[in-house]
Structures are given as structure tokens and as C-alpha cells.
């Protein structure tokens, strides 16, 4: 902890610790970024926060965008447990979202 400007302690949080993604997605991200890590010491692999869940990563291929969106709606409904903030969806662009 470091002293804050108004007298309280302020935690120092390293930017390499990802506080919103599970372990598996960070493992995939680090594998994809490995060539970048190999070329510079300025970028370091991401680490999960303490207590991060294992999580899961999946890839799907669809014949049509409508098929993809239909599957996505069902998958989100199935994953929903009462907290919408527990679900994240990556899209290819804002128009698709």
C-alpha cells in the first residue's frame, strides 16, 4: 500500500493482473500474444487475479449470421444465473452487437 493524496492507503495493482477474465481465457490470450512477448520485454503475459475461476473458451463456426445469433441467444440464456455482469460476449464489430 502507498499513502494516498488525502491520507488513506491506496493499493498498488499491477496492470499485468487481469481482474475480469478467468484463467483459461488469459491462457489463450497469452498463447496468441507469445510472438509479441518474444520480441519485447515491455509487454508481459497477463496473470489471473487471485482466486480467478478456471473458466472456458470455445470457438464455433456458423453458416450464417442468423444461425450464430440464434445459438448465442440460447447460450446466453443458458449461462444466465441471475447476474448479467457474469456474462461477457465478444463480437466482431459494434454493428453486430
90 and 97 Cβ atoms separated by less than 8 Å: no
pLDDT band at 89 (very low <50, low <70, confident <90, very high): confident
Q: How many CB atoms lie within 10 A of CB 48?
A: 19
2 forms beta bridges with: 10
Across residues 50-76, what is the average pLDDT?
91
Residue 23 CA to its chain's centroid (Å): 9
pLDDT band at 67 (very low <50, low <70, confident <90, very high): very high
The C-alpha cell at 28 is: 489463450
pTM of the model: 0.65
The C-alpha cell at 27 is: 491462457
pLDDT tens sequence across 23-58: 999 999 999 999 999 999 888 999 999 999 999 888
Across residues 76-96, what is the average pLDDT?
82
Amino acid at each position: 500500500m502507498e499513502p494516498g493524496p488525502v491520507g488513506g492507503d491506496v493499493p498498488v495493482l499491477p496492470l499485468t493482473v487481469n481482474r475480469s477474465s478467468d484463467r483459461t481465457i488469459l491462457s489463450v490470450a497469452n498463447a496468441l500474444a507469445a510472438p509479441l512477448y518474444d520480441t519485447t520485454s515491455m509487454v508481459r503475459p497477463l496473470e489471473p487475479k487471485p482466486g480467478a475461476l478456471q473458466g472456458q473458451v470455445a470457438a464455433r463456426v456458423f453458416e450464417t449470421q442468423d444461425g450464430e445469433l440464434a445459438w448465442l441467444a440460447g447460450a446466453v440464456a443458458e449461462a444466465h444465473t441471475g447476474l448479467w455482469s457474469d456474462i461477457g460476449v465478444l463480437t466482431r464489430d459494434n454493428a453486430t452487437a
